[in-house]
Amino acid sequence: MISMMKQECESRISRLQSVMKEQSINAFLVTQNIDIYYFTGSMQTGYLFIPQSEEPVFFVKRSVARAIEEACVPVLPLGSFRQFAETLAAQFPSVWPLSSAEGSIAPAVIATEYDVLPVQQYERLQAVLPANVTWTDGSLLLRELRMVKSPWEVERIMTAARAAHHAMEQAAAYVRPGMMELELIAHIEYAFRMQGHIGMIRMRGYNQELVTGMVASGEAGAEPTYFDGPAGGRGLTPASPQGSSRKVIAVNEPILVDIGCCIDGYVIDQTRTIVIGKLDDELQQAYEASEAILRAAEERLKPGIVCETLYADALQMARNYGLSDHFMGFGADQVRFLGHGIGMEIDEWPVLARGFKQPLQAGMVIAIEPKFTFPGRGVVGIEDTYLITETGYKRLTTAPGGLTSIPAPQ
Amino acid sequence: MISMMKQECESRISRLQSVMKEQSINAFLVTQNIDIYYFTGSMQTGYLFIPQSEEPVFFVKRSVARAIEEACVPVLPLGSFRQFAETLAAQFPSVWPLSSAEGSIAPAVIATEYDVLPVQQYERLQAVLPANVTWTDGSLLLRELRMVKSPWEVERIMTAARAAHHAMEQAAAYVRPGMMELELIAHIEYAFRMQGHIGMIRMRGYNQELVTGMVASGEAGAEPTYFDGPAGGRGLTPASPQGSSRKVIAVNEPILVDIGCCIDGYVIDQTRTIVIGKLDDELQQAYEASEAILRAAEERLKPGIVCETLYADALQMARNYGLSDHFMGFGADQVRFLGHGIGMEIDEWPVLARGFKQPLQAGMVIAIEPKFTFPGRGVVGIEDTYLITETGYKRLTTAPGGLTSIPAPQ
């Protein structure tokens, strides 16, 4: 079962190796499940060792049998972790002339993922590999590499987008006043799961968690939370303080349906606002402002535009509407971005935020999510996911835009 | 909304502080969402600073408003991360006499969670806190503290156990030949979610993931995987290589239903084996052996018994049955344990495994899961979760044991 085209892996590895050359990194030791999958097509446990110019080897802890079936790179059993230095020296005598038995020892620069690797595992690696290794943080490099998607990856994101379109239709057909948010999100999750959603959305950020997003209605949607997004949601208890709650959905309040799924490793992100009955004028205008901000962003969406410019322009538009206090959260709980890269994780690069001075490039995939929060009343907004193309963009989410208005039951 | 009794937090903090005194740790800087919740009753983002003998302070990044509502300890805004040292010095002048403006600087030992904290975040903490801080790994200490549960915690685990009982009944009523594993697990997940499951089961281990466990039938259940458990399951694709798959459930094969949920932060773990029709003699005997091993473990389950003894005895029983090659996985993919602690995470301490020389203590909660794997044919077994009491144990899972045999359709 080789699910990933061998040329995908080869191209990714070769892109990594050329950056490694530029940065004088001798080897990349890849440790995280998603990163390992990205370069090998397998998500088994172990260490992927990528030298600057030779073929990598995936040293697998478990399951070796499964990794051999799946991986596009050579697989070897990791064996004794204490002997990892010797195992590497035997496989890479030219790039890894570090065996202390050899006498003169060349120093090597090894990169790994400081943004996700726990300190304990890092210290164990430092202890078993030679003391003259210079360790360096390769997080930035990997995030930059992964932010430009191949057509193969975009195809998977589009499959997830179709699932989100379907799930949104299911939600709109199922929602009714008197139903708990929890009941509606469970219905959506069932729809997602039956289409092959893996059951959770992966996040790279420490302490960040996501299942499928949320249904958040009225004041519950506007409750602030730790979650690194514009709308948190009340959640079920303080032990799960985000997303859908047991609040009962009512008429004439915004129902934010901010959902995504992960199919064959790739993620989509999409938000629509539903109302049963009618929003009051202020919320209606805020919803329309969110659509206008999204349309204005779309107009500028093409290679070359600087990420933070898109955020600054959106913030300026919110100010012009007199809504800047409500934009992307409220008060102290506002987040300072307009959108984020997505791929295998939902918090990828680039981020449309102040400080992100890089220009958009063709192949980036970005979710843009203008939203407005009104404490005690709710959150309104819209979110679509876009591929940046050579000349502009392609919207990957296929669900129709606009406020979904459902007549209130008589 | 204060969901956790204040005395729970106080008792946990005071237990931690007495170990800190014994180990001459001046302060514990708690960073992980679960650990922060354990001591504060809130899961917002920030740093919980616990000095050896004063009251802790939760320095919150986001959401301060929500943390103030939820937390049982004083909450302050984290403010500028670069000034964290000054913020600490202002709050803890006696235990934190570290301001470099003060001239003579006492060294302090600060513990944090090396088992989960990413290197990048650790290095940032090192950079903003004074250079003469001695950092130490507090993982072991926290794992040991958290492995003994309070009655308040056990009550929550029992709520999750009732949900698992109900979900298993739903599964047994719903399963039929011709249905995909995915369809059955989606049905179970819906049942769990409607009872308040947060949507995922938290794991502490790097690269480990879990939604609700799995339904795994016949040969798909026996496929090895990276997952740190006796049965991996085929999963949906190599990008999600564990758990339920699109394999169609057939008659006369074992259907392993290894499921759990997380309600109000606490987790349960339970396995039952279903067959539609009849298992062949060898699988039937292996199933009976798993029950016999569980009963034998129960007989010895009380404070004082050493963890690794329970594993060694189970392994010996498997040998006596002539089944040791199949015990807890097959061949190179066997795992070397019989059970594991559970609480807020499903991979807590203690582990019933070689090398765990500590005796069981009253208050520990442990899932015990003897299973047998037959490549190409399936996995059979049983798993229950137990509270260790002063005199023995109490089984927390309430679903009836035994093989669930369903007549094959005519």
The Cα B209–Cα B211 span in angstroms is: 7
The CA-based angle A40-A42-A47, given to 5 degrees, is 70
The Cα A243–Cα B264 span in angstroms is: 14
Instruction: Using a pLDDT cut of 90, give the percent of chain A over it.
Output: 91
Whether residue A344 and residue B42 make contact (CB cut-off 8 A), yes or no, is no
Q: What does the DSSP 8-state code read for residue A257?
A: E
Phi, psi angles (nearest 5°) of residue A185: -70, -35
Q: Of B392, B386, B402, nearest to B299 (Cα)?
A: B392
Work out the minimum CA distance from A368 to partner chain B, whole angstroms. Answer: 22
The Cα B111–Cα B139 span in angstroms is: 8
Provide the token pair at B252.
């006369």
Query: Does B200 contact chain A (CB < 8 Å)?
Result: yes
Q: Identify which of A64, A236, A333 has the shortest CB distance to residue B65.
A: A333
Top-tier CATH class for B148-406: alpha beta
> What is the reported pLDDT for A154?
98
Residues of chain B with CATH 3.90.230.10: 148-406
Enumerate the residues of chain A whose CB falls inside 8 A of the CB of residue B236.
196, 198, 264
The Cα B368–Cα B340 span in angstroms is: 7
Interface of B with A in 141-180 (CB under 8 A): none
Q: Of B44, B237, B43, B31, nearest to B117 (Cα)?
A: B31
Angstrom distances, CA of residue A47 to CA of A85, A95, A100, B254: 12, 17, 22, 34
The Cα B157–Cα B1 span in angstroms is: 21
The Cα B157–Cα B151 span in angstroms is: 10
Q: How many CB pairs under 8 A join A and B?
A: 217
- CB atoms under 10 Å from CB of B12, counted, come to 21
Instruction: Using a pLDDT cut of 90, give the percent of chain B over it.
Output: 91
* Ramachandran area for residue A83 (φ above 0: left; ψ -120 to 50: alpha; else beta): alpha
Instruction: Using a pLDDT cut of 70, give the percent of chain B over it.
Output: 96
Provide the token pair at B284.
């039937």
Test the B interface: residue of A226, A245, A267 with most B CBs within 10 Å? A226
Q: Cα–chain-centroid distance for residue B348?
A: 5
Question: Count of alpha carbons within 13 Å of A378, Cβ hemisphere only?
Answer: 27
Parallel, antiparallel, or unpaired for β A109-112 and A27-30? parallel
Parallel, antiparallel, or unpaired for β B254-259 and B270-276? antiparallel
> What is the reported pLDDT for B124?
98
In A238-302, which ranges are continuous DSSP H helix?
A: 281-300
Whether B3 contacts B41, CB under 8 Å = yes
* Ramachandran area for residue B265 (φ above 0: left; ψ -120 to 50: alpha; else beta): left
Interface of B with A in 329-358 (CB under 8 A): 332-333, 344
A288, burial (CB in 10 Å: exposed 0-12, middle 13-18, buried 19+) = middle
The Cα B299–Cα B239 span in angstroms is: 41
> What is the reported pLDDT for A228?
85
Angstrom distances, CA of residue B279 to CA of A205, B44, B216, B283, B286: 45, 49, 15, 6, 10
Which residues face A386 on adjacent strands? A366, A395
Whether residue A190 and residue B194 make contact (CB cut-off 8 A), yes or no, is no
At B353, which helix (H) or strand (E)? strand B348-353
Angstrom distances, CA of residue A190 to CA of A309, B180, B263: 39, 14, 19
Whether residue B224 and residue A37 make contact (CB cut-off 8 A), yes or no, is no
pLDDT at B398 over 50: yes
Q: Looking at the domain that runs over A6-146, which CATH code has it been given?
A: 3.40.350.10
Confidence at A5, pLDDT banded by 50, 70, 90 = confident
Question: Count of alpha carbons within 13 Å of A86, Cβ hemisphere only?
Answer: 6
Confidence at B410, pLDDT banded by 50, 70, 90 = confident
Interface of A with B in 210-269 (CB under 8 A): 211-212, 223-226, 228, 232, 236-241, 243, 246, 262, 264-266
In B23-118, which ranges are continuous DSSP H helix?
A: 33-40, 64-70, 84-91
User: Helix (H, G, I), strand (E, B), or coil: what is residue A118?
Assistant: strand
Instruction: Using a pLDDT cut of 70, give the percent of chain A over it.
Output: 96
Q: What does the DSSP 8-state code read for residue A327?
A: B
pLDDT at A1 over 60: no
Parallel, antiparallel, or unpaired for β A404-406 and A270-276? parallel
| Average pLDDT, integer, range A307-334 | 96
Closest-CA residue in chain A for B67?
A225
pLDDT at A265 over 80: yes
Whether residue B119 and residue A120 make contact (CB cut-off 8 A), yes or no, is no
B299-333: per-residue pLDDT in tens? 999 999 999 999 999 999 999 999 999 999 998 88
A88-118: per-residue pLDDT in tens? 989 988 766 554 444 445 678 999 999 999 9
At A162, which helix (H) or strand (E)? helix A151-174
Whether residue B45 and residue A207 make contact (CB cut-off 8 A), yes or no, is yes
> What is the reported pLDDT for B131?
86
B367-397: per-residue pLDDT in tens? 999 999 999 999 999 999 999 999 999 999 9
| Average pLDDT, integer, range A187-209 | 98
Interface of A with B in 301-320 (CB under 8 A): none
Go through A187-223 and write b for each residue having 16 or more CB atoms within 10 A of its CB, e for each that does not.
bbbbbbbbbbbbbbbbbbbbbbbbbbbbbbbbbbbbb
At B308, which helix (H) or strand (E)? helix B307-320
> What is the reported pLDDT for A106?
62
Q: Is the ipTM of this complex over 0.90?
A: yes
Provide the token pair at B102.
């003060």
Residues of chain B with CATH 3.40.350.10: 6-146
Q: Of A107, A42, A123, nearest to A76 (Cα)?
A: A42
Beta strand ranges found along A113-186 (DSSP E) = 134-137
The Cα A230–Cα A221 span in angstroms is: 10
Phi, psi angles (nearest 5°) of residue A189: -65, -40
A287-306: per-residue pLDDT in tens? 999 999 999 999 999 999 99
> What is the reported pLDDT for A132?
85
Whether residue B193 and residue A212 make contact (CB cut-off 8 A), yes or no, is no
B34-67: per-residue pLDDT in tens? 999 999 999 999 999 999 999 999 999 999 999 9
Residues in chain A: 410
- CB atoms under 10 Å from CB of B241, counted, come to 29
Cβ neighbours for B106, distance < 8 A, ≥ 6 positions apart: B97, B98
pLDDT: is A96 or B158 the higher one? B158
> What is the reported pLDDT for B232?
87
| Average pLDDT, integer, range A226-232 | 87
Work out the minimum CA distance from A71 to partner chain B, whole angstroms. Answer: 9
pLDDT at B100 over 90: no
* Ramachandran area for residue A50 (φ above 0: left; ψ -120 to 50: alpha; else beta): beta
| Average pLDDT, integer, range B262-271 | 98
B106-118: per-residue pLDDT in tens? 678 999 999 999 9
Test the A interface: residue of B174, B226, B337 with most A CBs within 10 Å? B226
B214-255: per-residue pLDDT in tens? 999 999 999 999 998 888 899 999 999 999 999 999 999 999
> What is the reported pLDDT for A93?
83
Cβ neighbours for B120, distance < 8 A, ≥ 6 positions apart: A114, A115, A137, A139
Whether B208 contacts B327, CB under 8 Å = no
